Chain A
Amino acid sequence: MIHTSRYTGRRALFIGVLLLGAALLLGILALGLGAVKTPTGDVVQVLLGRGDELTRQLVLELRAPRIVVALLTGAMFAASGAMMQGVIRNPLASPDIIGVGAGAGLAATLFLLAWPGAPPGGLPWAALAGAWAGFALVLLLSREWGGHTGNALHPVRLALVGVAVAAALGAAQQLVLVRAPDGLGAALSFLTGTVYGADAVRAARVLPWALVLLPAALLCARTLDVLNLGEDLATSLGTRVGAARLFCLAVAVALAGAAVTGAGILGFVGLLAPHLARLLVGARHARLLPVAMLLGAVLVLAADTLGRALLPPTEVPAGIFTTLVGAPYFLYLLRRTR
């Protein structure tokens, strides 16, 4: 056969292993970075359960949470974007484009201002509510009311409205932060998109959500494949399209909402990682989702590591790098989408 499909399971597995290796390597590298550099050999020793007490503390308690948060939030944004693109069937859909990230950020800010002593586990719930509110706002504003195309969502229209809503919500968040008491404002500044200062509390806040939602996303893979064939064919194959869409979107929105409470809005990770994954392993979600998650994780960790290594002791937020790469790609997609 001449034209065998290039997207095979073996290829996906190979790429997955490659990315896993990259994540591991980057992780070890990043664990050594800091005001006091730790040699890579010592980091490996610590990870193997050896090494001296001071290094253990430095690596595992101070540095590891940041790495964990970077990896998890990257994977979560990527999974969220991949699912949204599948459900909405819109290549431009991603958490930061459709208002989910901005909604979550604003809600998290307001929540902490209103209730500074809240238990740390409460923040993701507030972010989740905000994520839904932001999403609903964008959906409502981008719907074309009346006429035959009552439910049609034009991809570019959705993106335009999404960008505008995200900007407005982001500005509102900035305004609230400016007015906030000093300590709190600093504590919340991560919401603009960085894993800087991510501690064990932040890691513990995100981890349970990741442990539930990332596998849930993988379980949606086949449903997403069927939805990807369009409403008619999905119905024809016995899927209850409305319920299936809602469930997948709920998982996607929750993923982004929870990720925001870990690292803020990491610009374009949810757009970039799924697109790259699709190029590498094709559109089948059983392969696309895990590869996108790994790509997202590596992307954010690489951005953060780069930000730390570039101009020490200044730390460039990871969100700046992901946005620098993502924005041009978004513009390219926008031009290509009719």
Chain B
Amino acid sequence: MSRQGRGAPTLRKAIPMTDFPLATEKLRLGYGSSIIIPELDLRVAGGRVTSIIGPNGCGKSTLLRALARLLPVGSGQIHLYGQALHALPSREVARRLAILPQGPTAPEGLSVEELVWFGRHPHQGRFPVRREEDREAVTWALDQTGMRIFAGRPLESLSGGQRQRAWIAMSLAQQTDILLLDEPTTYLDPSHQLEVLHLAQRLNREQGKTVVMVLHDLNQAVRYSDDLIAMKGGEVVAQGEAGTVLTPELLREVFDLKAHILADPDTGKPHVIPYALTR
């Protein structure tokens, strides 16, 4: 059964909160007087790739940003491995959770390697002494993203896909268990989109990282995620294994779409072909 209604699956309620990299409890989010997410109880499974999908304005980016303490919490709690996120020192959070926000910008002339070094910031003390482990982390991050050959290049001389990989490399240099990506494929051409998604999947498979992404493309979300969270109007409509969440009913309810659903020839997961609007 994939449709668990809003909130967390009852089955997982029994598992202690400390087992979940990220969880929310009666979370309310908004800007000023406008409430975007009224009340949310969510659990993100560890060691898996989870994608949040939903129409524009459904609160998916707001949720992701709040999970990374980029937004103040209206009320309720966010837990990082069972600990209250906002009570933890920001620097400590940055050693366990990295987020790449949408449309990051860097000052002109900054080289890829200089950018990746920023990822070591939460690990360094008051004075930026470059220890061996920092050097290794930077090299590793450059290797993982295939950016080593571009290490000396200024960011603005790179293509969109390369630049996005450089930013991901910076997040990787933080060496966190949890990686959050806010629409990492936006403005990239199809091949660069796949590069980024493959990278996210590989980091999960090889490093055991918990990856949470906001994605717009439904088929990419299904194909490259283990779990899906579907949101509408600030509420979770469905959550569960990627292969089971996307149903014709869900697409109608969340996206107002009528769609054919085929089986992906490689993964057997659903492949969505929208053909009409229900509105």
Residues in A lying within 8 Å of B, measured CB to CB: 1, 3-7, 148, 150, 222, 225-226, 228-233, 235-240, 282-284
**Given the contacts A237-B121, A238-B92, A283 and B108 also touching, CB distance less than 8 Å:** yes
Question: Is A236 within 8 A of B106, CB to CB?
Answer: no
User: Could you list which residues of chain B lie within 8 angstroms of chain A, going by C-beta atoms?
Assistant: 31-32, 65, 68-70, 89-95, 98-101, 104-111, 114, 118-119, 121-122, 128, 152-154, 157, 171, 174
Residues of A within 8 A of B90 (CB): 235, 238-240
The complex places the Cα of A312 from the Cα of B153 at a distance, in Å, of 52
Decide if A3 touches B154 in the complex (CB within 8 Å): yes
Q: Which 5 A-B pairs have the closest CB atoms?
A: A238-B94, A283-B107, A238-B91, A238-B122, A5-B111
Closest chain A residue to B126 by CB distance?
A219
- Please tell me if the beta carbons of B114 and A284 are within 8 angstroms of each other in the complex: yes
Q: Which of A148, A230, A239 contacts B104 (CB 8 A)?
A: A230
Q: How far is the CA of A1 from the CA of B150 in the complex (A)?
A: 8
Contacts of B174 in A (CB 8 A): 237
> Which of A229, A235, A282, A283 contacts B118 (CB under 8 A)?
A229
Question: Chain B: which residue is nearest A229 at the CB level?
Answer: B106
Question: In the complex, what residue of chain A is closest to B149 when comparing beta carbons?
Answer: A1
B159 to chain A, nearest CB (A): 12
Docked Cα-Cα span, A240 to B94, in Å, equals 11
Contacts of B157 in A (CB 8 A): 3
Residues of B within 8 A of A283 (CB): 107-110
Q: Is the interface of A mostly helix, strand, loop or mixed?
A: loop
Residues from chain B with a CB closer than 8 A to the CB of A150 are: 32
Chain B CB count within 10 A is highest, among A150, A232, A239, A240, for: A232
Task: Pick the contact of A5: B65, B69, B104, B114 (CB < 8 A).
Answer: B114
- A232→B118 contact, CB < 8 A: no
What residues of chain B lie closer than 8 Å to A7, measured between beta carbons?
109, 111
Can you list 13 A-B pairs with a CB-CB distance of less than 8 A? A5-B110, A6-B154, A148-B31, A229-B106, A232-B104, A233-B118, A236-B99, A236-B101, A237-B122, A237-B174, A238-B91, A239-B121, A283-B110
Given A226-B118, A238-B90, A282:B107 Cβ within 8 A: yes
A237 vs B95: C-alpha distance in the bound complex, in angstroms? 8
Q: Establish whether residues A282 and B101, one from each chain, have CB atoms under 8 Å apart when the complex forms.
A: no
| Residue of A whose beta carbon sits closest to that of B97 | A236
Q: Given A5, A229, A230, A231, which contacts B153 in the complex, CB threshold below 8 Å?
A: A5
- The distance from the CB of B87 to the nearest CB of chain A, in whole angstroms, is 14
Decide: B152 and A5 in contact? CB cutoff 8 A.
Answer: yes
B102's closest neighbor in chain A, by CB?
A232
Residues of the A chain whose Cβ atoms lie less than 8 Å from the Cβ of B101: 230, 232-233, 236
From the candidates A1, A235, A284, name the one contacting B69 in the complex (CB within 8 A).
A235
Q: Is the CB of A238 within 8 A of B121?
A: yes
Contact, CB under 8 Å: B122 / A282: no
> CB distance A235 to B70 under 8 Å?
yes
A250 → chain B closest CB, angstroms = 18
CB pair A230–B105 under 8 Å, yes or no, is: yes
Cα distance A148–B153 when bound, in Å?
Answer: 37
Contact A229 to B104, CB < 8 A, known contacts A3-B157, A236-B70: yes
Q: With A and B bound together, what is the CA distance between A237 and B69 in angstroms? A: 11
Task: List chain A residues, Cβ under 8 A from B94.
Answer: 236-238
